[in-house]
Structure 1
């Protein structure tokens, strides 16, 4: 095992230990001797974490910071991706325990399922679209587990820890999604009866399928050996995350794609 592999395993072990301790305070930054030094090391540690969770290959991926708004919010220069374990995926309508999450938030997402593999490396939007089997509305559940100073935790460590990901809720596949203008579709999110945010598919790197093309060429795809048929991808949130105060009902809807409901109890 190389020094880089040993470092990735040490970072993954500390992140998993902190999660299993379920602290009621944000995660502390990894020690300097263990924290990944760059994006590539962050993705290597992320795959090591996936192996420890029995999620390699993963059930899918989430893409974070696909909008300028989210990049500014998270302090990232561009998008970042995280693996998604199978046990964290739920069909809509879903009911989950609020107390099972640490300071949870929700995001208004366009999701998809791959029908064929995409190898790691440069990918065109047309090639990405050809690999898609299904498109559906989705809610990503995220956790505010890094505290207010993201810079102190560090972008590579944020990548290693799946970029805020906690779980996800998948809506029903849209019929004839290829006839839809996914860039123009509008997504809206309600918490209870209150509209909390809205945005459009074009907010995701110009078009949702550009986000998938980005993922195919990303460090996550390189680390995990490419994207595979059957995997789910959360393409990014068209709204900033909505941080929740307690049990509630969350609903999102995209024009042409349908709606998803999640109840926290």
Structure 2
């Protein structure tokens, strides 16, 4: 009840109440937020338009930021055509990353870290310059970041019927953001020639996901994300701008899935390697 009252106050402040006819109602968003914190499955949002999803995400943010802490970055989701197909859509979606979501390399995490826990190979970049908000090419993105970071994302689909989630429904629930494990950052080279080589390496790298026995679980390539992984940032900056949000120096950006979504198994160690990307060190997560 207290959370619901807090939601109404937050929504009144941000002007979200009644913004869209099919926006998730306040009770549904409050219920989702409560279940997110409790790590229990919630009802899946269905039949939302993109505008409905944006309104619902704003309502959810009004609650989550008060429980999880400040926003530390953003997540571009469904930037891989294969994952778009899984969610019956043809375009990306976005969500927010909150304080405490990004863990150190080698972290040990409960295999039941969420209501519907999964893992995937991903990558983070860190914003260096406000110029990223007007970037239109991967080269312009590279000029506006200072780090690329191997990343095993640990999303949580959270709902009772994940198979019924589509792209808009996923956007409404903050693109399933829960946790992730970040590897060793790789600095963006100052030399134009070296920076160009990094740009090519990011496109051409092969990402492999293996377990503690060395068994291959999945693989992908940099080009699987919109033709180049930094193209995800171009898309994200435009999507945020359309809602009056700007990226700022220090923000982390999750680029999307290089691998299928896979379920964690207690007692296993998962490793992602980024072959062909100079300076990349593998990133690991241990599930207990």
TM-score calculated relative to the size of structure 1: 0.85
- Distance of aligned partners of 1:14 and 1:78 in 2 relative to their CA distance in 1, 3 Å threshold: same
Structure 2 segments unaligned to the other structure (5+ residues): 1-14, 190-194
- Give the counterpart of 1:39 among 38, 50, 57: 50
Displacement after TM superposition at 1:39 (Å) = 1.3
- Residue 98 of structure 1 aligns to a residue whose secondary structure is coil
- Distance of aligned partners of 1:17 and 1:5 in 2 relative to their CA distance in 1, 3 Å threshold: farther
1:63 equivalent in structure 2: 76
1:134 equivalent in structure 2: 147
- Give the counterpart of 1:82 among 92, 95, 110: 95
Equivalence map 1:1-265=2 (5 Å): 1=15, 2-4=17-19, 7=23, 10=26, 11-23=28-40, 26-30=41-45, 37-54=48-65, 58-117=71-130, 123-148=136-161, 150-151=163-164, 153-176=165-188, 178=195, 179-180=197-198, 181-193=201-213, 194-218=215-239, 220-223=240-243, 225-255=245-275, 256=277, 257-265=280-288
1:132-170: CA deviations, max 9, x gaps?
A: 11001101001243355544x453332111122211111
CA distance in 2, matches of 1:172, 1:136: 6
The structure in which a higher percent of residues are strand is: 1
Displacement after TM superposition at 1:118 (Å) = 5.2
Displacement after TM superposition at 1:110 (Å) = 1.9
Per chain length, whose mean CA-contact separation is higher, i.e. which structure has more relative contact order (CA < 8 Å, sep 6+)?
Answer: 1
CA distance in 1, matches of 2:217, 2:229: 21
- Distance of aligned partners of 1:119 and 1:135 in 2 relative to their CA distance in 1, 3 Å threshold: closer
- Distance of aligned partners of 1:144 and 1:3 in 2 relative to their CA distance in 1, 3 Å threshold: closer
Indicate conservation of the 8 Å contact 2:203/2:229, yes or no.
yes
- Residue 99 of structure 1 aligns to a residue whose secondary structure is coil
- Residue 259 of structure 2 aligns to a residue whose secondary structure is coil
Displacement after TM superposition at 1:123 (Å) = 3.4
TM-score calculated relative to the size of structure 2: 0.79
Indicate conservation of the 8 Å contact 1:120/1:222, yes or no.
no
Structure 1 segments unaligned to the other structure (5+ residues): none
1:15-74: CA deviations, max 9, x gaps?
A: 202323433xx42234xxxx7832123123223322322268621122222111111122
Moved more, 39-48 or 50-59: 50-59
**Alignment coverage as a number of residue pairs:** 257
- Distance of aligned partners of 1:139 and 1:224 in 2 relative to their CA distance in 1, 3 Å threshold: farther
